[in-house]
Amino acid sequence: MKGLFKSKPRTPVDIVRQTRDLLIYVDQSSASLSDSKREEKMAELAKNIRELKSILYGNSESEPVSEACAQLTQEFFRENTLRLLIFCLSQLNLEARKDATQVVANLQRQQVNSRLIASDYLEKNTDLLDTLIAGYENTDMALHYGVMLRECIRHQTVARYVLESPNVKKFFDYIQLPYFDISADAAATFKELLTRHKSTVAEFLSKNYDWFFAEFNSKLLESTNYITRRQAVKLLGDILLDRSNAVVMTRYVSSRDNLRILMNLLRESSKSIQIEAFHVFKLFAANQNKPPDVVNILVANRSKLLRLFADFKIDKEDEQFEADKAQVVREIAALEPRE
């Protein structure tokens, strides 16, 4: 007789609904719950989130099943489960937070009927992106929210929203936070924002050139922090050497103030900063329409630059680097002062 009353296994939809109910319960009743009742509910919630993760990622015994993933994803975004999970994340224990972060990250890649429905949901709920960005100000939540945010930025509409919102300016401060793991995470998100979606980034930089590069130069390239300078000059190279940003690159290398900053970076004691600075400096040298003030700075510093490049070596042999260096030396040697 016992076998007749076995409980039916829960479907992915059931697990999402129960998770949502528990999140609502915890969110609304956190103050009024007794400690034992609260512990029980939180344990149940953690177990559900772990099951969601297991469906999406598979486990040691089985691969994820696409039909189950699609059902889970559809139910998750049908109502406000994502919103609840983001706002209740701080109430979960560390393991449950990690699981929840992985669930949210995976859901950004799940397609239902060939659509990334996470993208549609976030487009209608952009305030959640503001919440994730502000997470960098909370040392306990920053790394979890940072992972979620980077996965959300995979969607072009999300990246465009973040770039066009006032929040993008906050990254210049987050990258300089005194906590290394958080500042590094913010730098990784900033890089993703400025390199993943080429057309969106090119449009953003063209429209916001003046304030963006004023901040980039003063707060990042001229930062007193070595790691900030190293990451910034590498990112600057990635941006300017991308063909999508050709117009922005031409404008950047026509500025004598930008040239001075790069020449200072070339003189750094750090080899890695010098090399990344060289990859940007060579664009100034290669510009066939150099403004007179740029030419005159290069001419005035010609002997110092040629001396620097004569001793400029990298640890492993690199034919392209040597060819670039030879070209830069030729360009500088041939310059004539301009009025």
Which runs of consecutive H residues, i.e. helices, occur in 165-270?
171-174, 180-195, 198-207, 209-215, 226-240, 246-252, 256-266
Task: Quickly state the pLDDT bin for 315 (edges 50, 70, 90).
Answer: confident
CB within 8 Å of 176: residues ≥ 6 apart: 183, 219, 223, 225, 228
The pLDDT tens digits for 185-227 are 999 999 999 999 999 999 999 999 999 999 999 999 999 999 9
297, 251 contact by CB (below 8 A): no
Stronger pLDDT, 318 or 260, i.e. the higher one: 260
Distance, CA of 324 to CA of 335 (rounded, Å): 17
- Supply the pLDDT for residue 18: 95
The pLDDT tens digits for 261-300 are 999 999 999 999 999 999 999 999 999 999 999 999 999 9
User: And the tokens for 293?
Assistant: 């003030």
Instruction: Compute CA distances 265 → 53, 120, 270, 294, whole Å.
Output: 45, 43, 9, 17
The pLDDT tens digits for 109-167 are 999 999 999 999 999 999 999 999 999 999 999 999 999 999 999 999 999 999 999 99
The pLDDT tens digits for 53-104 are 999 999 888 898 999 999 999 999 998 999 999 999 999 999 999 999 999 9
User: And the tokens for 179?
Assistant: 């906590």
- Supply the pLDDT for residue 260: 96
Distance, CA of 327 to CA of 313 (rounded, Å): 15
Distance, CA of 218 to CA of 261 (rounded, Å): 9
The pLDDT tens digits for 225-270 are 999 999 999 999 999 999 999 999 999 999 999 999 999 999 999 9
